Chain A
Amino acid sequence: MPPVKPSLWALGGIGVASGFLSALFGVGGGIVVVPLLVLLAGFDARVATATSLAAILLTAFWGVTSFSLLEEVDWGAAALVGVPALAGSLAGVRLQQRLSSRRLTLLFSAFLVAVAVVLFVE
């Protein structure tokens, strides 16, 4: 698909949808931003993922602001997972070149299903 210049309205719509999902689920919103940028703007997956990351920075900031007003953010716990995750993302850059992404993706997918089952049972 050739790159097209996405309209301001389309981008705004993607933003509102991703913000809604992000705040409802505590995730970044890349799940909707990446495929929509590929579909509506003709971005290739790499550019869509990169652009989505930059947008999520703002989305997460709005989310943290909203939820800290509701006094739901546990800052100690956030540091406890945020700091090792940052270290992990540094390591992940190197891992990326070595691992078979296909098998790993399927394993991760199966792991998410397992977590979902546990959540449903709880």
Chain B
Amino acid sequence: MSAGALVLALTLAFAAGALSGLFGVGGGILFVPTLAFVLGLSQLGAQATSLAAMIPVVAFGAWQQHRAGNVRWRVALVIGLASFLGVVGGAALAASLPEALLRDLFAGLLLVVAAQLAWSVRRRSEGDEPGRADGH
């Protein structure tokens, strides 16, 4: 890995962490392209590694939200435990798909998230002043 690639990876990862707090999207959406393009992992490897990389960020975020009194723990626990079933199915499917298809599916997900973000801006700006939309 070149020094340039290393700096780019560290920068993108830092940005992913900063943005995850701002937009409520996990760092994963930026981790995967960073791991695949900059660090040269396979699409499947990048997705698997993204899940490991997000654990410290998510743990910190959850702890902060807990302190702010925003977490409904019973609900989180039920969702988190039930997600095991989905994870097993999703992991088996991801591992069985060709790399190119997995990559295209991920690109499709990016478009969905981009549309969702743009839509949320539109909706908020209808009632609130821009920039103060989240006001808390």
Contact = CB atoms under 8 A, between A and B. Distances in A.
B33 to A, nearest CB: 5
Contact of A80 (B9, B56, B62): B9
A75 B55 CA distance: 12
Chain A interface residue count: which class?
Answer: 35 or more
Prevailing SS type, chain B contact patch: helix
Contacts, number: 379
A1 interface: no
B82 A85 contact: no
Nearest to A43: B72
Interface residues of B, number: 101
Contacts of B41: 74, 77
A20 to B, nearest CB: 4
B80 A81 contact: no
A122 B13 contact: no
A61 B55 contact: yes
Given A85-B57, A112-B29, A119-B107, A60 B51 contact: yes
A57 B21 contact: no
Contact of B104 (A33, A63, A119): A119
A15 B49 contact: no
Interface of B: 9-29, 31-35, 37, 39, 41, 44-62, 64-66, 68, 70-73, 75-91, 93-95, 103-118, 120-121, 124-125, 130-131, 133-134, 136
